[in-house]
Amino acid sequence: MNELNQTQLLELVNTKQIAEGNPRARALTQRIVTDLFKTIDEMDVTPDEFWKAVDWLTRLGQTGQFGLITAGLGFDRLLDIRLDEADEKAGRAAGTPRAIEGPLFVAGAPTTQLETRLDEGEPKGEIFVMQGQVLDTDGQPVANAMVDVWHANEVGGYSHFFPGMKPYELRRRIETDAQGHYRFRSFLPPGYGIPPNSPTAELFEALGRHGKRPAHIHFLVAAPGLRTLTTQVNIPGDTYIDDDFAFATRDGLIIELEKDVAPAGYESLGITAPFT
């Protein structure tokens, strides 16, 4: 009954060309449009439903939330799965697992060498230091690698997206030293939730899904001649640690917090005994 006539379909999709255009864009558009035509036909989408969807997409664009939707519907994770598969096929060594960048990265954060502080003023959460070494997949230290770090504020907001925050607040870049070392101080952020009363929230309510991410910190690690690593670490103990709406938590990325460690050597990050 709901079989789109093949000739009708081809007429709509195989449009006349007045120029070569971009063959890839043309092929992808034709495929996506064909699939959507079939969906509308087979699922008996009414004009009312269709125009509601158009209105929703318009508002989604106006609020700049399309990237939240791609993350929440699993597209960002799909791209990571495909990159993992390509690595495996090519026999490339797996290092720290990748995790999605998400829609809230901002390039160009302030840069310092070896160490930085993301927190300012009164503590907004539990203060911690994270330190590490950037290694290539042969285990060799990467000098002068650029480590971008960003995370949410005490209410789960990200600067440049959440009102009232300073430019690049809770966003920093650290250039590793000759041995690939980096370290930074901040406070443990809470989890993230999609903005209420937004087009994104409307969809997730309609799907009967929550829009929560467990507490996490983002990283983007880049060095000349090496592939860039985009990843995140998760803070243990979060309710949503195995139920991330953006499908970005992964085994091997949940950090262990060492409490009450000897505080010596962190004076430059404003930490003097006792570490609290």
Q: Which amino acid is at 110?
A: P
Binding partner at 174 among ligand MBD, Fe ion, none, C-beta below 5 to 8 Å by kind: none
Which residues are paired to 212 by β-bridges?
193
Q: Cβ closer to ligand MBD: 38 or 160? A: 160
Q: Cβ closer to ligand MBD: 146 or 246? A: 246
From the list 149, 174, 217, 246, which residue makes contact with ligand MBD (rule: CB under 6 A)?
Answer: 246
Between CA 4 and CA 41 the distance in angstroms is 7
Q: How far apart are CB 241 and Fe ion at their closest, in Å?
A: 14
Instruction: Name which of 216, 237, 239, 234 is nearest 150 in CA terms.
Output: 216
Cβ-based neighbour number of residue 224 at 10 Å: 8
Q: Cβ closer to ligand MBD: 52 or 82? A: 82
- CA 124 to each of CA 18, 108, 119, 229, 270: distance values in angstroms, whole numbers, following the listed order: 59, 24, 8, 28, 15
Query: What burial letters (b/e) apply to 55-67, b meaning 16+ CB within 10 Å?
Result: eeeeebeeeebeb
Candidates 100-108, 112-120, 179-187, 265-273: pick the segment binding ligand MBD (CB under 6 A). Answer: 100-108
Query: By CB neighbour count within 10 A (0-12 exposed, 13-18 middle, 19+ buried), where does 265 fall?
Result: exposed
Q: How far apart are CB 213 and ligand MBD at their closest, in Å?
A: 5
> Helix 199-206 and helix 47-62: axis angle, to 10°?
140
Instruction: Name which of 71, 68, 64 is nearest 201 in CA terms.
Output: 68
Binding partner at 71 among Fe ion, ligand MBD, none, C-beta below 5 to 8 Å by kind: ligand MBD
From the list 134, 248, 269, 271, which residue makes contact with ligand MBD (rule: CB under 6 A)?
Answer: 248
Candidates 30-38, 77-85, 86-94, 101-109: pick the segment binding ligand MBD (CB under 6 A). Answer: 101-109
Site string for Fe ion, 91-130 (x = CB under 5 A): -----------x----------------------------
Q: Cβ closer to ligand MBD: 134 or 233? A: 233
Q: How far apart are CB 226 and ligand MBD at their closest, in Å?
A: 24
Binding site for ligand MBD (CB under 6 A): 68, 71, 100, 102-104, 192, 213, 246, 248
Binding site for Fe ion (CB under 5 A): 102
